[in-house]
Amino acid sequence: MTTKMIICLVAAALLFNASFAQAQQPGKVLRIGYLDNSTASGSAVLVDAFRQELSKLGWIEGKNITIEYRFAEGKNDRLAELAADLIRLKTDLIVASGALAARAAKGATTTIPIVTTATGDPVELGLASSLARPGGNVTGLSSLTTELNSKRLEILKDAVPKLARVGLLRQQVGSQLIAGDPQLKELRPAALALKIKLEEIETELDSKSLDHAFQIAKQKKVNAIMTTAGRPLFAARKWIIELAGKYRLPAIYFQREFVDEGGLMSYGVDFDDLYRRTAVYVDKILKGTKPADLPVQQATKFEFVINLKAAKQIGLTLSPEFLAPANQVIK
pLDDT value of position 14: 42
What is the C-alpha to C-alpha distance for residues 136 and 109, in angstroms, rounded to an integer? 11
Domains of the chain: 28-144+271-300 (3.40.50.2300), 145-269+303-330 (3.40.50.2300)
> What does the pLDDT profile of the chain (331 residues) look like in tens digits?
444 444 444 444 444 444 444 444 456 899 999 999 999 999 999 999 999 999 999 999 999 999 999 999 988 899 999 999 999 999 999 999 988 999 999 999 999 999 999 888 888 888 999 999 999 999 999 987 777 899 999 999 999 989 999 999 998 754 334 445 778 888 999 999 999 999 999 999 999 999 999 999 999 999 999 999 888 899 999 999 999 999 999 999 999 999 999 999 999 999 999 999 999 999 999 999 999 999 999 998 999 999 999 999 999 999 999 999 999 999 9
pLDDT value of position 18: 41
pLDDT value of position 6: 44
Q: Is 289 exposed, middle or buried (0-12, 13-18, 19+ CB in 10 A)?
A: middle
pLDDT value of position 120: 81
Whether 244 contacts 263, CB under 8 Å: yes
Strand partners, 169: 201, 227
pLDDT value of position 27: 66
Q: What is the DSSP letter of 179?
A: P
Q: What would the DSSP string read from start to end of 83-114?
A: HHHHHHTT-SEEEEESHHHHHHHHHH-SSS-E
Q: Tell me, what amino acid is at 232?
A: P
Q: Which of 267, 168, 171 has the alpha carbon at shortest distance from 225?
A: 168
What is the C-alpha to C-alpha distance for residues 260 and 149, in angstroms, rounded to an integer? 20
What is the C-alpha to C-alpha distance for residues 46 and 39, in angstroms, rounded to an integer? 12
Q: What would the DSSP string read from start to end of 135-178?
A: -SSEEEEE--HHHHHHHHHHHHHHHSTT--EEEEEEEEETTEEP
**Backbone CA torsion sign across 107, 110, 116, 121:** positive
pLDDT value of position 173: 59
pLDDT value of position 57: 98
Q: Using DSSP, how many helices (H) and how many strands (E) does the chain show?
A: 13, 14
pLDDT value of position 26: 53
Residues 6+ apart with CB under 8 A from 42: 231, 232, 234, 235, 236, 237
CA angle (223 as vertex; 220, 227 as ends), nearest 5? 85
Q: What would the DSSP string read from start to end of 71-84?
A: E-TT-GGGHHHHHH
pLDDT value of position 74: 85
Rounded to whole angstroms, what are the CA distances from 36 to 74, 166, 282, 330? Answer: 9, 29, 16, 30
Chain centroid to Cα 217, Å, comes to 26
pLDDT value of position 176: 39
CA angle (235 as vertex; 230, 238 as ends), nearest 5? 120
Q: What would the DSSP string read from start to end of 256-320?
A: HHHHHTT-SEEEEE-HHHHHHHHHHHHHHHHTT--GGGSPPEEP--EEEEEEHHHHHHTT----H
